[in-house]
């Protein structure tokens, strides 16, 4: 089943894009046709990394560099890649605090001061898993598909904890959605 959701923040990612500028976009999740169609109007390079397929990402408190190696391999970004936009969707609801920290450590060298990101978080920790896949239908419209099954390792972070774990981003804006999720616009903090 496919549905659409309006977004007040997604359109904030794109207004500064110049027609001839090459943009680099990290999309966490599967490559959905509507997202590819949307970005086809820009000169861009898309990096699709489906971390959801890798869940649960094993953590080992005694061997944190192992997590960084895992994210380095999963992202598979060349050392010189600087990302302009990151679409995290709701991946942070499925990663433990050590995994989020490792992810941010690996991602930070690929950010620049103008990098923007979009994510969903939960307003209340008791919120149920949404079982949704996200894509971009338009600059202010998100395409939502229902996943076939719930994902493992659903354990959303409290807002204050998530803000600290996303140490290379500031939360620029947030919007509380009717279903209790938070839509977040993030700005790189380097």
Q: What is the pLDDT of residues 70-118, one digit of tens each?
A: 999 999 999 999 999 999 999 999 999 999 999 999 999 999 999 999 9
Q: How far from 98 is each of 57, 82, 88, 109, 152, CA to CA, in Å?
A: 10, 24, 17, 18, 17
- Give residue 137's domain range: 2-9+21-56+66-188
Look at residue 52 and tell me if it is in a domain. Answer: yes
Cβ–Cβ < 8 Å for 121, 181: yes
Tell me the whole-structure pTM to 2 decimals.
Answer: 0.93
- CATH number of the domain enclosing 164: 3.40.50.150
């Amino acid at each position: 089943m496919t549905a659409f959701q309006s977004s007040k923040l997604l359109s904030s990612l794109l207004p500064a894009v110049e027609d001839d500028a090459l943009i680099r976009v990290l999309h966490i999740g599967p490559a959905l046709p509507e997202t590819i169609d949307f970005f086809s109007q820009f000169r861009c390079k898309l990096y699709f990394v489906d971390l959801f397929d890798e869940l649960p990402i094993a953590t080992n408190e005694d061997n944190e560099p192992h997590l960084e190696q895992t994210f380095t391999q999963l992202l598979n970004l060349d050392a010189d890649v600087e990302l302009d936009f990151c679409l995290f969707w709701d991946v942070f609801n499925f990663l433990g605090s050590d995994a989020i920290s490792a992810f941010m450590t690996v991602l930070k060298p690929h950010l620049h001061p103008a990098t923007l990101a979009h994510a969903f978080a939960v307003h209340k920790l008791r919120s149920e898993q949404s079982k949704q896949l996200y894509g971009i239908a338009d600059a202010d419209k998100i395409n939502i598909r229902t996943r076939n099954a719930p994902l493992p390792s659903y354990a959303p972070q409290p807002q204050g904890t998530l803000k600290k774990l996303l140490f290379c981003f500031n939360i620029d804006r947030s919007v509380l959605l009717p279903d209790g999720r938070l839509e977040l616009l993030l700005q790189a903090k380097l």
